Chains A and B, each alone.
Chain A
């Protein structure tokens, strides 16, 4: 199809042709076209179906406010629903499809909804689908959702990348129309760092859509020159295709730059979009204004458009939206559409002006005091019905109608901090109110200054004021300065048909009337009851219209009625853009242990522990199932010696003359008595007395300690200690620094642990020289500095040995090689878990943020002889109950029976209801030594129930097993092995 509706002029590049398809039909356009302008150029005005009634719809606007012309773009993982055809930059091979229709756009079977519109009025679902209640989720809602809707999402992964970034500037100018360009020129010429961002791919705003002269040039040409001047300034960053979508705290603005949306596929490695966080010293909102329609019956037919859009298509894109055009306006600006179109040779058959007075446009049938009351045309506008001032009605054959109800300043970003816009009767619109985001001023049409001269002037003045510029202000080019002459007309009183207000959500004047009738008169209630303004366009063309209709119904003024709250984002932002690079394997950074590369060579299985990848187990040849590996690792360790990378445990270096006293205060048990060269197990409580963390702390010197935390709490404990140091006790001489990553630390456990270590440690580590709970700075392998701690989590004779991280891999290999005679194995977190549960040591399942030291059987560790964080509140009545939860060991009476963590304790014969709940299993493993599942759990009065039989029940897993309550110390309860 040729471009039948292309007329002369415009800013498209006619020397080049761009091919694209819509619903599979090939078309041609030019670079500089949007999808909407190119389709209109090809005579296509039916572009979509409406949300609820499946009414045929075409574009009403030429910008981001578009509610109707929503399409799906691309295919596969790049498929993108609900994209506004009015802002899609045409590119070669663009594949666009209409949506929310079946089987085709021209014949949509769901159009039947329109016949039953009476049933779909506001509030219909709430009133109708109430019984039976159970039907809502499974029957009613799915049917409604299928019938109503927009585009479909792809189920495939988006193959593109999204980036984020940070920018700084003295002045952020939002919008590059005349006001924004003049503000940027003023600031840029003064040498300030300026960012000028505009959502369009062509800067200039309405200057590109109008025929006004600016200075000696056309507005569009002046914009080109201004942009060229700005582009040459090193202190100015021009950001096209960039929507400033929100004002956030402290002068921070969010902006989405569509880097590659105008390309078929992003260049390799290039992001499709970038989410920018802009730190702006000052900001100027020059976001222009949005024209609003006038509601009349059947005002939603393809061909009924905003008057400003109609002339934008003609002036900017060289497209006539119809062969026979009429204009319906309540203000002078609408008249410009008629004059511009006539100047381009378009047949303007009538101007319907709701006002009685004003100037007459020569050369056209200008009906004053008239209104459009209805339209007809199944898939597009064919006829409008006009009621003249004398009351007579007349049908006029047209295929395009430009409607102008006045212009609404785009106050959105200024209102993102809940500033309420105020009504300006002079322009019959809301303008920015007080208390906008600090540092943000508003200029031009966004401030309600609707002339070109006014935009240029306020843009310049706002930049001067915002930046405190002194000296001569830049001269302004001459430009039109026409006053705003508008007589408010929100909707045409006529008939009983539907007059659309919010076209995207299919909200009509009747819906607003119904809301009023049912007393949903507040704008916030109106919004939620009718869904006015709740679509992806956020009611940019409909909101003010809706509240004005409500104002008329209630008899309140428009300012009294007010607006709803404006919130970011200004236009829809894709989830992928918000996620940036944080997705899939890059969702978060990984932390690798010093033994990671060795473990990978061995085919180890890794588990994510926070950001760490820890070795879970290390399979050997012939092992087909994880339990085989884990059992082997446990048995080998208890038989001879095993090595485990425990680098992930938090390590905090604590120094200072008050370090001992500091530890006394942060740990529940005493540390000031710890001798140099010794370690002690410490229990840390929260302020409320609940156990926070545990670990060992070693005294390495007179004023020098090394604290170990759990892997999970490494950061939170460090943060807590810094809080204590800086805020609670700033008078103490304590210095802290994390050394978690600085040292590669390995647990070496088992009867032959010492013998193995003696192969690498340079010093004497006999039991006499280095007894249980010893700690020392040592050297290994002939002089490398290292640390040795004789501590045990496994219950075996065990040590933790640490070397600078770069030597960790080598130390592990050396220990395995030199100690080969002891058949050492490397064990992972699973075997670690088995051995600690066999010993009754608490870990994540028990340190659950709800449990006290008493619950864990560690009540005596909370020293009453000194004050410490959490000590007082740990003694609260409810936390020291005799029959409270106590840590117990559990094993099944039938050794073959399985246990499941999370199962609950019940007495024999008790019903499995919450009232009979005795506690729960916190951790469970299979113990190769005991030959059965074993578990730890919190049981009410558990310390008095050792030896008793109970049931553990898991209703989800269908488990009901008889168990024996035993001591949590299930292996070597006397601790003979660890002191060996």
Chain B
């Protein structure tokens, strides 16, 4: 945005953090813009119409719906977290507000979270050490709130060997450490 101000990752770096432990790859997400979208009271129908027109999916509970440019996952009744490419959607909140009108409350959430994409052949064993989600049985696209090493996170299953984790940005180092420690214990 402003040339004078250089963005810093949650780890105080310029480039996203990438870690490889055995078969597991951990990649920090810095190219995703996030915003929350919540229906105003009694305005769900309006929001649904506007969202459909804007190409914004509003999936049901425990679900992540991919899309272009907007993907989203359910976080609470009539509330979603929306993802979009950061480069084109840094102003995601303004863009969604314009698209959705006054039937929704929109709040920028991009820097409230640190995101990690985890990939391996199979993430089940890692998830067993990290959280109480039954990862093996969860369908692809399963999105849920859970706790990893005392930190409240969102976990999105993208396949048997792929998952996205959003945790509190200020605790990025603690969250990564928890994932790394579990991975080392399993490697």
Chain A residues packing against B (C-beta within 8 Å)? 161, 163-168, 269-271, 274, 277, 279, 581-582, 586, 588-594, 596-597, 611-612, 647, 653, 655-658, 703-704, 731-735, 737-744, 779-785, 803-811, 814
Contact = CB atoms under 8 A, between A and B. Distances in A.
A168 B108 contact: no
Contact of A739 (B41, B112, B129, B131): B112
Interface of B: 1-10, 12, 30, 36, 38, 40-42, 79, 91, 102, 105, 107-113, 128-129, 131-134, 136-137, 149-151, 168-175, 177-178, 181-182, 184-185, 187
B5 A611 contact: no
A168 B135 CA distance: 9
A581 B9 CA distance: 26
B7 A807 contact: yes
B111 A804 contact: yes
A741 B105 contact: no
19 contacts: A168-B134, A271-B185, A277-B132, A581-B181, A589-B151, A590-B173, A591-B168, A594-B8, A658-B41, A732-B41, A735-B105, A737-B38, A737-B107, A781-B3, A784-B2, A803-B5, A804-B111, A807-B1, A807-B8
Contacts of A806: 7-10, 30, 110-111
Nearest to B172: A592
Contacts of A594: 8
Contacts of B132: 166, 277, 279
A270 B187 CA distance: 9
A804 B41 contact: no
Contact of A782 (B2, B41, B105, B185): B2
Given A582-B150, A782-B3, A741 B111 contact: yes
Given A733-B41, A735-B79, A814 B5 contact: yes
Given A163-B182, A739-B109, A781 B168 contact: no
Contacts of A779: 2
Contacts of A279: 132, 134
B128 A165 contact: yes
Contacts of A592: 170-173
Given A163-B181, A279-B134, 7 more contacts: A269-B184, A589-B175, A733-B41, A739-B108, A741-B112, A782-B2, A807-B6
Nearest to B146: A166
B161 to A, nearest CB: 16
A912 B47 CA distance: 67
Nearest to B133: A166
Contacts of A657: 40-41
Given A168-B136, A741-B168, A741-B169, A733 B129 contact: no
A808 B1 CA distance: 13
A655 B110 CA distance: 18
B169 to A, nearest CB: 5
Contacts of B42: 733
Contacts of B178: 581, 589
B37 to A, nearest CB: 9
Contacts of A809: 8, 12
Given A611-B171, A741-B113, A814 B4 contact: yes
A781 B169 contact: no
Nearest to A738: B112
Given A781-B2, A781-B4, A590 B174 contact: yes
B8 A269 contact: no
B170 A165 contact: no
Contacts of A269: 181, 184-185, 187
A615 to B, nearest CB: 14
Nearest to A762: B2
Contacts of B137: 168
Contacts of B168: 591, 741
A166 B111 CA distance: 30
A647 B4 CA distance: 21
B112 A785 contact: no
The 5 closest A-B pairs by CB, nearest first: A589-B174, A733-B41, A805-B111, A655-B105, A269-B184
Contacts of B177: 586
Nearest to B182: A163
Nearest to B42: A733
B5 A737 contact: no
Contact of B108 (A588, A742, A780, A808): A742
A164 B136 CA distance: 18
Nearest to A706: B107
Contacts of A593: 170
B136 A733 contact: no
Given A163-B129, A737-B109, A805-B169, A785 B151 contact: no
A596 B12 contact: yes
Contact of A810 (B8, B111, B133, B136): B8
Contacts of B6: 807, 810
Contacts of A732: 41
B5 A810 contact: yes
Given A165-B129, A807-B7, A653 B107 contact: yes
Given A163-B129, A269-B187, A733-B42, A740 B112 contact: yes
Given A588-B150, A741-B170, A783 B1 contact: yes
A269 B21 CA distance: 12
A872 B91 CA distance: 44
Contacts of B184: 269
Contacts of A581: 149, 178, 181
Contacts of B171: 589-592, 611
B38 to A, nearest CB: 4
A784 B174 contact: no
Nearest to B113: A741
A537 B177 CA distance: 37
A781 B6 CA distance: 11
A740 B108 CA distance: 11
Contacts of A810: 4-8
A742 B134 contact: no
Contacts of B40: 656-657, 733, 735
Contacts of B136: 168
Contacts of A737: 36, 38, 79, 107, 109
Contacts of B128: 165-167
Contacts of A277: 132
A166 B185 contact: no
A612 B134 CA distance: 31
B34 to A, nearest CB: 9
Contacts of A785: 1, 91
Given A582-B150, A653-B107, A784 B134 contact: no
A739 B110 CA distance: 10
Contact of B107 (A589, A655, A658, A784): A655
A810 B10 CA distance: 13
A372 B111 CA distance: 78
Contacts of B91: 785
Contacts of A731: 41
